[in-house]
Structure 1
C-alpha cells in the first residue's frame, strides 16, 4: 500500500543526500555539513525513519566479489494479468535470492527483473525454475549486461 508523502524540508533533503552516499556518516559530520547540531540530525533521521522516508540501511555488495559474474535484465510476459497469476509471480520472484530487483510493469511486459548468477549454466537452470516450469509464464526475454556502469538505489532528493 502506497504511503502518503512525508513532509520534508531542505535540511531533511540535505541529510538524505548525505545518507544515500554513505549511511555510516557520523551525525556530527552530517550536522556540520547541513548547519545543524548532531542531536537535531538524529531527531530528523529518526522522524524520517518513523515516517517511512528512510526505509532501511543496507550494505551494498559487489556481486563479482562473490563470484556472481552474470547480470541479466529479464522481461517476463505472463499469459494473463489475472490477480492470481500476478500474485504467484510476485511471490516466486520475491523468494528467489538471484532476483535482485523486481518491477511489476505496464506496456506489454508484465515484470522486469534484475538477476545475478555465477555463470550461464546457473542462469539457464534458474530460467527453467522461474519461467519454463510455470504455465502462467508465456515467455521471457533476457538482456545480459556487459558492464555495470551504474548501480544502487540513490533517489534524487531535490
Structure 2
C-alpha cells in the first residue's frame, strides 16, 4: 500500500474518484467498483471524513432548472485592506443569498465573486441593492459568463485521475 504526501493510497484515491462521480453510491456498489469489501469501504470513508479530506456530501443542483440562467463574475476592490474592512465585507457578502462563491484574491482586485441571477435585469437589481451597498466597496467590475465549460469541485489530478 503506497501512500503519497497527503497519506492517500491508490484505494483511497479510487474511493475519492467514485465519490466525486456519485456521492450517494452504496458501500456495496463502491466495493464492487474498486475491489474492496463494503466494510472496508465504509471504514476508509470514515477515515477520509475524520481527516477532513471528505468534508461533506452534497447534491449538485442545476442553476438553470432553478431559474438562475445568468452567471456573473464580479471583481470587487475595497477602499481599505485593513483587517476590519475585510472582516466587515466578508460578513456582509456571506449574507447575500445570490452569491455562489467568494474568493479573497491577490493582485488588483480584492475579491472574486460568482453571482447567480435569473437574467440581466435581476443582476442589475442585485448590483444596485446588494453589491454596491457592501461595506468598503471602492470598485465593482462585472463580466457575464456566456457558457460554463468546466465546473469541478477539485481537478481529477487531485485524486490521480
- Please indicate, yes or no, whether the TM-score normalized by the shorter chain is above 0.5: yes
Offset, 1:14: 0.8
Contact persistence 1:101–1:113 (CA under 8 A): yes
Q: Report the equivalent of 2:89.
A: 89
Q: Which moved more, 1:118-127 or 1:53-62?
A: 118-127
Contact persistence 2:89–2:134 (CA under 8 A): no
Q: Report the equivalent of 2:159.
A: 157
- In structure 1, stretches of 5+ residues that fail to align are none
Q: Distance in 1 between matches of 2:117 and 2:95?
A: 15
**Structure 1 segment 124-143 matched on structure 2, within 5 A:** 124-134=124-134, 136-143=136-143
Contact persistence 1:73–1:143 (CA under 8 A): yes
- What SS is found at the alignment partner of 1:53? coil
What TM-score comes out, normalization by structure 1 length?
0.90
What TM-score comes out, normalization by structure 2 length?
0.88
Residues 66-104 of structure 1 deviation map (CA, whole Å, 9 limit, x = unaligned): 111110011111111111111112112222221101111
Offset, 1:6: 5.5
- What SS is found at the alignment partner of 2:159? coil
- What SS is found at the alignment partner of 2:58? coil
Q: Distance in 2 between matches of 1:16 and 1:150?
A: 19
- What SS is found at the alignment partner of 1:125? helix
Is 1:47 aligned to 2:18, yes or no?
A: no
Residues 82-133 of structure 1 deviation map (CA, whole Å, 9 limit, x = unaligned): 1111111211222222110111110121010111011222211211233322
- In structure 2, stretches of 5+ residues that fail to align are none
Question: Aligned pair count?
Answer: 154
